[in-house]
Amino acid sequence: MRISNNLKKCVVFIGTKKPDEPVEKIKYRGTGFFVSVASNIPNKSFPYLVTAKHVARQIEGMDFYIRANSKDGKSVIFKAGDDVKWWFHPDTVYPADVAVLHFPLTTDLYKSLDCEMIEAGMLLTDKTRLEEEIGEGDEIFAVGLFSKHTGSEKNLPIIRMGNIAMISDEPIQSDQFGDMEAYLVEMRSIGGLSGSPVFVLRPVCITIDDWKIPTSRWRIYLLGLVHGHWNVKAEKANDAPKDNATNDRVNAGIAMVVPGHKILETINCKGLVDIRASIEAKAVAKTTT
């Protein structure tokens, strides 16, 4: 499956550096992506930077940097202070590895960036998943950071492809978040992919005599974001050489994906809804005075 270049443009890289180091020394640690929420204000939407909560925790209390590609073939680096307000999923029983940052962009600045927003309507909800009969075996791909080759002048995202391996009706155990709702996908996740958007491809079908016939067209939904993966000790992997050191690790090839509806629930938490309502109310008041 050939992936559109536009889908590579939705990601940014998130990193840190020591205070006395130049920006060239930024170490990029994770991936973020932009989600836009429609507004009642004409020609305006609300942009949010989305990443994994564990990425946000790693940079908590630190200045950090967000690198986005620009249309001149280079990149723009945004510096964020240690007082940035991250919003996390409100559920305390089954927490989700999601962090959301309100990221206002001026029109002129956004026009200079080679970035694409993911519209909130692309995020896969349980209702849409059932209606579209999305499940195990469907093709997925992630777009994000490859920490061994991030690009020196601009972001160079990598694409990893795979399939949905399990949609569990039980919470899945994680080291950092305990029991959490997640999809399992067959894809080799790596550290820099934390926070990366994961898309699911669904063929558009036509119905003939009650048979659904796939066409050459596809619908794309945001399945969720990469939480992480499992490693196993090399000596316990069936195909590992016996002379491997005991501390070697082998990627199990199964990654955990935080569902898209968990991202939506975070974006639509009361605090962010109130902020959007306040901004819209001020805009209406301006136009009526």
Tens digit of each residue's pLDDT (9 = 90 or more) over 201-227: 886 666 666 666 655 567 899 999 999
Q: What pTM was computed for the model?
A: 0.86
Q: How far apart are CA 289 and CA 277, in angstroms?
A: 18
What is the average pLDDT across 103-120? 86
**Which pLDDT belongs to residue 114?**
92
Please provide the average confidence, as pLDDT, over all residues in the chain. Answer: 85
255 bridge partner residues: 185, 229
**Which pLDDT belongs to residue 237?**
43
Picking from 103-107, 178-182, 222-226, 282-286, which range would have the lowest pLDDT averaged per residue? 103-107
**Which pLDDT belongs to residue 82?**
77
**Which pLDDT belongs to residue 62?**
84
Q: 204 is written with which tokens?
A: 């558009």
Question: b/e for 183-216, b at 16 or more Cβ within 10 A?
Answer: bbbbbebbebbbbbbbbbbbeeeeeeeeeeeeee
Q: Are 229 and 65 in contact (CB under 8 A)?
A: no
What is the average pLDDT across 8-25? 91
pLDDT at 3 over 90: no
**Which pLDDT belongs to residue 77?**
93
Task: Identify the sign of the CA torsion 134, 135, 137, 142.
Answer: positive
Question: b/e for 109-123, b at 16 or more Cβ within 10 A?
Answer: eeeebbbbbbebebb
Residue 285 pLDDT class (50, 70, 90 cuts):
confident
The letter for the amino acid at 156 is L
Residue-range definition of the domain harbouring residue 91: 5-288
Strand bridging mode 75-80 / 87-88 = unpaired
**Which pLDDT belongs to residue 231?**
59
Q: Are 199 and 222 in contact (CB under 8 A)?
A: yes
Residue 259 pLDDT class (50, 70, 90 cuts):
very high
Q: What is the pLDDT of residues 54-86, one digit of tens each?
A: 999 988 888 899 999 999 999 999 998 878 899
**Which pLDDT belongs to residue 135?**
93
Closest among 36, 56, 54, 58 to 46, alpha carbons compared:
36
pLDDT at 89 over 90: yes
Domain count across the chain: 1
pLDDT at 195 over 50: yes
**Which pLDDT belongs to residue 287?**
77
CATH number for the domain that contains residue 96: 2.40.10.120
Q: How far apart are CA 125 and CA 261, in angstroms?
A: 5
CB atoms closer than 10 angstroms to residue 93: 7
Closest among 267, 221, 262 to 37, alpha carbons compared:
267
DSSP summary character for residue 4: P
How far are the Cα atoms of 120, 174, 217 from residue 205, in angstroms, in the given order?
A: 24, 37, 8
Q: 98 is written with which tokens?
A: 């999601």
Q: Are 99 and 238 in contact (CB under 8 A)?
A: no
**Which pLDDT belongs to residue 246?**
45
Task: Identify the sign of the CA torsion 105, 37, 190, 56.
Answer: positive
pLDDT at 247 over 70: no
